[in-house]
Structure 1
Amino acid sequence: MRTVSTLCIVLFAGSAHADVLHHWTQLNDGRSQSFRAIVSDDTCPAIEIDGALHQMSVRAGVMPDFPNLVCEFATDKPVASAQVNTLRFPVRPERADRMVVVGDTGCRLKDGSPVQACNDPEEWPFATISGSIAEKEADLAIHVGDYYYRETECLDPDICGDTYGDTWRTWEADFFAPGQAMLSAHPFVFVRGNHENCNRAWLGFDRYLAAEPMRDPLMCDNYQAPFVVEFDDLQLPVIDSSTRDRDTYTWDRLRAMQEQFTDVLPRLDRETLVLTHTPLWGYGSKKRESDELETLESIQRDAFGDMLPRLVSGVVAGDLHFAQLVSTSGNPVQITFGNGGVWLYTTPEGRVDDLQVGHGVTGDIFGFNQFGFGMIERVATGLDVTFFDQTGEAAVKCTAPASVETCAPEGV
C-alpha cells in the first residue's frame, strides 16, 4: 500500500513540473469552473486544489499548427485555492457583484481593411488594457468575443508581426501573451465572437476557450450550445451569436438564434444579464471616423428581443468597435464594450437621443469612442456601468439604474 501511494506521489510530482505557457480559469454551465493550462510538454501537470493534488486531463492534443496540449481540471464544487507549481489560478467567487467587461481585443489584419500596427502599443493597446483590467477589483470578468483578428499576412513584419491564420502562434500573439495579466487576475466567462465562427478561428476557440468539450470527430458547430453561469441571485446566460450577419439573414439562422434563447429561458428565475457577442440594439458606423451613421443590430433582436423577461436587467455584448449604452422603452439596457484593442468604429460621442437603434425601435445612446473596457456593478438600485479608458481611468459612469439619462463624464 505504501509503495502504491509513493508511486502516485512521484507521478503527480513529476507531472507538476510541466512547462505551462498560459493558464486561466473559466466559468461554465451552472456552478462549474474549469482550470485550464496550455503546456509544451507531452503530459498534463497536476493541479493543487485546496491542498490536494489532482491530475489535469487533456482537453486538446497536439495537432498541425497547434504544437501544445490544452489541459483541464473542472469541478462544480467551491474552491478556495488552485495552483500548478507556483502559478496561482483565480477561483470562482461566491457572488458576482462587480464584473469587468472587455471585447474585440485582437489586432486587425484583413484584406480590404486598413492594417493595424500590432507591434505599436498605441495603435493596438490590448496589453495595456489587460494590465489595467488585472488591477481592478472584480468578482469576475467577461470577454464578449473576437479574440482573433490576424486573418491575412502582414506585408511589413516590423509593423504588424509575422503570424496570421487560425494557429497557435496567432492565438498566442493576438490573445494569450497580451492577455495573460487579466487571465491571471480574474475568472472569466468567455463568449464566442464572429471571428471565432466556422469560417474563421473556430478551431483555436474550441481548443482553448469553448465551454463544451471538443467534438470527436473534429468538426465545427455554427451554434454552440447555450449555457448559464449561475449564482444565488444572478444568472448569466451565454448565447452564441457568432453566425449573425444580416447580409446572410435566413429563417434557419433566425430559428437557430431563437432556439438558443428558448433553451435557456426556462432556467431563468432570478436577476439575469444576457451575454452574447452582437448587440440587440446599437447605432454608429462600422467604419473609422465616419459620418455615415446608421442602425446597427443583429438578427437576435428579431429572434428573441421581444421574449426577454423582466428578470433581464441588461444585455451585454461587443462586436461594435466602441463602447455604448443604449436605452429603449420597455427593454433592458444594452451594454456594449467592443473597444478592447481592435481599431475603432465610429459612435457619436456622449449622449444622443431619439435614434433608430433597431428595426422599428427608437432609443437614446451614450457613446464612448476610445480604447478601453467596462465595469458592471450590481447595487441596491440596479446597475452601475463605468467606461474606463485603456489605462484604467474612469471616463464615464452611468449610475443605477443604468440608463443614458444617468451617464456623465467622471470627474466633472
Structure 2
Amino acid sequence: MSPSTVLPLRAALVAALAALAGCATPTGAPALASFVVVGVDGGAVARVLTAGASCPTIRIDGFDATMAVRSPAQTVAQRPTVSAPADAKPSAFPVLACEAAIPAGTAQASVAGQALALPRAQPNRIVVIGDTGCRLKKTGGEDYQACNDAAAYPFARIAALAAAWRPDLVVHVGDYHYRENACPPGRAGCAGSPWGYGWDTWDADFFAPGRALLKAAPWVMARGNHESCARGGQGFLRFLDPRPLLPGRDCDAAANDAVGDFSDPYAVALGDGAQLIVIDTSNTTYRGLAPTDPRMAKYADSYRKMEALTRNAVYSMLVEHHPILGFGAIRGKDGEVVLFNGDKGLQDAFGAVNPALLPPGVKAVLSGHVHLWEQVSFASAHPTQFISGFSGTAEDTVPLPAVLPPGAAPAPGAVVDQFSSWVGGFGYMTMERAGAEQWDVKVWDTKGAVRNTCRITGSKSVCAVAKVD
C-alpha cells in the first residue's frame, strides 16, 4: 500500500473515532496517570487513570474523541490470595481506567493538554527495568522494606534517571506490586504505607514513583508472579495489560483464575528485522511442573505460539519475567553459596515441546524475578540471558561468583561461555541499537553512573566486567 493511500485511511480512522464520540470537546477530568502501552501486533493504546466521573477526551492529530471506560470505579470483594485472610482485604479501585487505541502513523496525541509519548517505527534506545515495587510481606522472616526511605526504595530516582536518558521504549519485565501486607506498628521505614491490592497501593508502588518514566516513552508491560490472580493481578489487568479487559479475565473471582492467570504471547516490532515477543509467565513455579499439571499444557501452548511469532522476524528477543536461563544464589546451612538454576516450571513445559527450551529464532531473553542484574552467554545454541530485576524491590544479597564453578548450568545442556553479575545494587539497564543484530547494553546505578557495559551480537553477549562491586 502506498503512502498516498495510507495517510487518507489513517485520517479517516481518526475522524471516525471523533464521530463515534459525537465530536466531543476536551474535558478536564483530572488524570492520576497517563501513559501508552504497546501490545498485540505492536498496537499502541493510550491509558488514563482518573478520579473524574467520566473519561477524558483524547486529541489525536487534531481530532477529539472521548476515551472508553476500561474498568469502572469499584471495590472488589475480598478473594483468596497468597496471604492469610486476616492479612488481606477487599481491593478498592476508586478510579476510572480509560483507554483509546492510537492509530499507526499518529504524529501527536494528548490528553488534557498533556502530550503522550508515541511509539517509533524503529526504537533504538530501550530502557529495561523490573521488580520495582516496595516489598511489604508478612512471611516467616517478616520482610518489610523501608518504603519511606528513598535510598532503601529508590524506584522514583531510577525512573527519573531512566527518563532523562530519553528512551524510545521502556520494557518492564514484571513485578510492579509488592506492598501486600500492612506495615507493623513501630516500623518507621514503612509507617503509613498503603497495602493490599487496590489503587492506593498500585499508586504508591508504581504510578507515583514511575511518573517521569511513564511520560517519557511508550511501555511494554510484561507480567510477573506478583501480578498473578492471587496477588496483584486485578490491578495489572485493569491498568497495564495491553489486551481488552474481559469479564472473567479480571482476577476478581478465584473461580476464573484458570483464565485470568494466562494470556497468549504477542510481538512488538522493533524495526530492521527485530522484534520483542512478550510471554505471560505469572503462574509458573521454580519447583517445576508435574506432567499432569494443567500449567504444562498452558505453557506448551505459549511455546508453540511464541515459535510461530519468531517466524515473522529475523531477530527476536523474548520478554518474560522468570529467567529460564539465569542463575540466583542462596546460602546453605553451612554458610556456603549455593547456586539455583533457571525457572524449573518453564523448563519442564517448554522442554516437553523442545529440549533446547527456546525456538532458534529467539536470540536474547530479558527477564526479572531475581533481584539483581545478570548476563549469561552460552557456547551452546542457547540465547543470551539478561536479568534486570534490580530497580526498586529489596535486593538479593548473596553474591554470585565472578567465575562460575565447573559444570554450572542454568538448564540442561546449556554450556556457559560468558557470565557477569551485579548483586546488592539498585539500578536500570539500557540497550542501544548498534546494528541489525547488535545492541550495546549499559548498567546504571542510582547516581546515574555506568557500572558495566556489554555488547549483544546475535545470540551471544560479552560484558566488560565479570562482577560489579
Q: TM-score, normalised by structure 1?
A: 0.91
In the alignment, the residues of structure 2 paired with residue 377 and residue 300 of structure 1 have an alpha-carbon distance, to the nearest angstrom, of 29
**Shift in alpha-carbon separation, 1:231–1:360, aligned structure 2, 3 A:** closer
Partner of 1:357: 410
Deviation digits for residues 324-377 of structure 1, max 9, x if unmatched?
001122111001100011011146467424422224534242101210110122
SS at match of 2:213: helix
CA–CA distance in 2 between the matches of 1:347 and 1:159?
23
Determine the C-alpha separation between the residues in 1 that align with 2:440 and 2:401.
Answer: 17
* Equivalent residue number for residue 223 of structure 1: 262
Partner of 1:342: 393
Is 2:114 the partner of 1:87?
yes
Structure 2: gaps spanning 5 or more residues? 1-18, 76-91, 252-256
For the pair 1:285 / 2:338, whether they are aligned, the reply is no
The one-letter amino acid paired with 2:189 is I
- 2:302 and 2:402 map into 1 onto residues whose CA distance is 33
The answer on whether the counterparts of 1:272 and 1:314 sit within 8 Å (CA) in structure 2 is yes
Q: Does 1:372 align with 2:449?
A: no
**One-letter code aligned to 2:372:** F
The residue number in structure 2 matching 1:385 is 441
> Which residue identity does 1:266 align to in structure 2?
A
Distance in 1 (CA, whole Å) between partners of 2:33 and 2:232 is: 19
1:249: which partner in 2? 289
Residue 43 of structure 1 is matched in structure 2 by 54
For the structure 1 residues 359 and 56, does the alpha-carbon distance in structure 2 shift closer, same or farther, using more than 3 Å as the test? Answer: same
Is the contact between residue 277 and residue 309 of structure 2 (CA under 8 Å) also seen in structure 1? no
Q: Which moved more, 1:261-270 or 1:296-305?
A: 296-305
Shift of 1:406: 3.6
Q: Deviations over 1:66-99 (max 9, x none)?
A: 0010000113422211111221110011102221
Change (3 A) 1:211 1:133: same
Secondary structure at 2:144 match in 1: coil
Q: Percent identity?
A: 31
C-alpha separation between the residues in 2 aligned to 1:51 and 1:18?
19
Residue type at the aligned position of 1:227: Y
Per the alignment, residue 227 of structure 2 pairs with 196
Deviation sequence 1:126-180 (CA, Å, 0-9, x none): 0111101111132201000000001111014642133111100000001000011
Unaligned runs of 5+ in 1: none
- In structure 2, do the counterparts of structure 1 residues 56 and 287 end up closer, same or farther at CA, with 3 Å as the change threshold? farther
Could you tell me whether the CA contact under 8 Å between 1:25 and 1:33 is conserved in 2? yes
Structure 1 match to 2:133: 106
Give the partner amino acid of 1:340: S
1:136-155 matches, within 5 Å, as 136-155=165-184
CA RMSD in angstroms, aligned pairs only: 2.5
Change (3 A) 1:31 1:246: closer
SS at match of 1:129: helix
Match of 1:214 in 2: 245
Query: Are positions 1:183 and 2:178 aligned together?
Result: no
Report the counterpart of residue 465 of structure 2 in structure 1: 408
Q: Which 10-residue stretch deviates more, 19-28 or 350-359? A: 350-359
- Give distance in 2, aligned partners of 1:287 and 1:18: 52
Residues 1:286 and 1:62: Cα distance change in structure 2 (over 3 Å): farther
Cα distance in 1, alignment partners of residues 375 and 196 from structure 2 = 33
Deviation at 1:57, TM superposition (A): 0.5
User: Distance in 2 between the 1:33 and 1:304 partners?
Assistant: 29
Partner of 1:96: 123
Match of 1:301 in 2: 347
Question: Does structure 2 retain, via aligned residues, the 8 Å contact 1:347–1:367?
Answer: no
Distance 1:131 1:56 in 2: 28
Residues of 1 paired with 2:56 and 2:68: CA distance? 8
1:196 deviates by 0.5
1:208-241 deviations in whole A, cap 9, x for unaligned? 0012222214544121222111244222111111
Deviations 1:361-409 (A, max 9, x none): 3424210121011012232262222111123321100124285644338
Residues 78 and 28 from structure 1, CA distance in 2 versus in 1: closer, same or farther, beyond 3 angstroms?
same
- Which residue of structure 2 aligns with residue 54 of structure 1? 65
Alignment TM-score, normalising by the size of structure 2:
0.80
Matched to 2:298, the amino acid is: A
* Alpha-carbon contact 1:297-1:358 (below 8 Å) kept: yes
In 2 relative to 1, CA 55–256 (structure 1 residues): closer, same or farther, beyond 3 Å? same
**In 2, Cα distance between the equivalents of 1:371 and 1:211?**
28
1:236 pairs with 2:276: yes
